[in-house]
Amino acid sequence: MSTVTSELKKVTTHTIQAMKVKGEKIAMLTAYDFSMARILDEAGIDILLVGDSASNVMAGHETTLPITLDQMIYHAQSVVRAVKRAMVVVDLPFGSYQANSEVALSSAIRIMKESGAHAVKLEGGSEVEESIRRILMAGIPVMGHLGLTPQSIYKFGTYTVRAKEEAEAEKLVQDAKMLDELGCFACVLEKIPAKLAEKVTNSIEIPTIGIGAGAKVDGQVLVIHDMLGITKEFKPRFLRRYLDLFDQINSATKAYINDVKNGEFPNEQEQY
Ligand code: KIV
């Protein structure tokens, strides 16, 4: 089966921006390793995000805070090696950009130089304006991230929907406009009311990519482990599971254990 965007022309920031103009939705998923990235790229995904959610789903941490810049670069290198068409965006992890714009720039340069990725993503609005400006000035494409920003979980206290109140919603709209004016090429909107996401999408030129932000945005992103049903307990309203891999892998593993214990694996054909 072929999709609208499945031909092997590399996806760039220009492709992504043109998709908004044409009204073609952008499909983004996270990836952290070579094998998975290869499957997603071959399927025709537009953007692969090496998200700091690797801290949760790959390393088993409760939050995204512990993952380091070196670890993000390791994941990004593995993804970049697999990709022929998709654009690869890498999260700047917690602690790699908040101190000041010089630190932010040197972290972004390390990601681009050492992994071969195509862009970076960082969380926040006006608080990180100077850092975004400097990274962009170095020629590195930046994807913004507003709404629920998991690196600030200890400030928020919970992972509930953000910007339901007027003041926070207004700041989010202003931040989105700022990201647009600075020259970011896209912006993730995480867990905000659908009406607000629609308003933001219509107020800015750059594409918005939603996660728990409704349908009236320019694209969607999900964490691959959630979308494939590997993470069993995580069941937010916005999540659509396309497989139940936890159960399927569990059953396959039980069948393998059984075959080994009963001497049924390997059989005559499976040996030399
Ligand atoms: O790290 C991540 O996976 C993300 C997405 C949820 C957007 O930032």
Q: Whose CA is nearest to atom 4 of ligand 1?
A: 51
66-114 confidence digits (pLDDT tens): 999 999 999 999 999 999 999 999 999 999 999 999 999 999 999 999 9
Domain boundaries, the chain: 13-241, 245-272
- State the pLDDT at residue 181: 98
The percentage of the chain sitting over the pLDDT mark of 90, rounded to a whole number, equals 97
Q: Tally Cβ neighbours within 10 Å of residue 267.
A: 9
DSSP letter string, 68-98: -HHHHHHHHHHHHHH-SSSEEEEEPPTTSSS
Report pLDDT digits (tens) over 124-173: 999 999 999 999 999 999 999 999 999 999 999 999 999 999 999 999 99
Distance between CA atoms of residues 148 and 124, nearest Å: 9
Whole-number Å distance, alpha carbon 2 to ligand 1 midpoint, is 27
Cα(110) to centroid of ligand 1, in Å? 20
pTM of the model: 0.96
Q: pLDDT tens across 247-258, in order?
A: 999 999 999 999
Check if 190 is active-site. Answer: yes
Distance CA 178, CA 193 (A): 20
State the amino acid at position 100 in one-letter form.
N
* Confidence band of 4 (pLDDT split at 50, 70, 90): low
Ligand 1 nearest atom to the CA of residue 188, by list position: 7
Strand partners, 188: 145, 209
Q: Give the integer Cα–Cα distance in Å for 23 and 37.
A: 26
Domain 13-241 architecture: Alpha-Beta Barrel (3.20)
Select which of 62, 130, 165, 190 is catalytic: 190
CA dist 117 and 272 (Å) reads 43
**Residue 17 phi, psi (nearest 5):** -70, -35
Dist. CA 111 → ligand 1 center (Å) = 17
What 3-state class would DSSP assign to 271? Answer: coil
pLDDT in tens, 5-59: 545 899 999 999 999 999 999 999 999 999 999 999 999 999 999 999 999 999 9
Instruction: Work out whether strand 87-91 and strand 119-121 pair parallel, antiparallel, or are unpaired.
Output: parallel
